Structure 1
Amino acid sequence: MNVAERLEELQRRARKDEKIRNMLFDTRSAQDPLEAFCQASQALGVPIYEMELIEAGEEFYAAIRRSTNGGGENSPLLEGEDDFYELFFAGL
């Protein structure tokens, strides 16, 4: 299962269970939100690690850039499209 699939699984569970949803939303107020989110996901049995989450976002964004206008400097600036952490919460 890749990172996106694990995030979808976590999202599915959070939509069904308010306790899980609140646990994940509470990570946003932690001193290091990304680390807290990954620890919470691991505690829930969905292994997500900080660097793989960051890398997945960057790879996704790079693929989008390559697909628009040949990926050159004229490609549109896509604000926040590489932040899977924020996109996860937007999806909830």
Structure 2
Amino acid sequence: MSRSDEEDDDEDFQAESNAEEVSAAYKLFTHGAAGPITLGHLRRVAKELREDVPDEVLKDMIIEANGGVKGQEKDVGGVSLEDFESVMKRAGLSFG
């Protein structure tokens, strides 16, 4: 195996590992459910972290993550796994 092949294998492993970590992190927000991450999920996480985050800030986080896709009526919608992956990529995490 050449040096280039070894580097490719390392990058593939890292991308796979990162993808698994992103999926695991997503499930932490959703309590293991399929998703999406909702306002209620973010409230719970903020409370568990003992952070006092106003609902407006949490709503803005959801809208930023889901590209402004709203749910029914005044609902801000949710964050799908794909949206979550996109946020992680924008934060600099690489995965396949």
Task: Tell me the TM-score normalized by structure 2.
Answer: 0.30
| Bigger Cα Rg | 2
Structure with more relative contact order (C-alpha pairs < 8 Å, separation 6 or more): 2
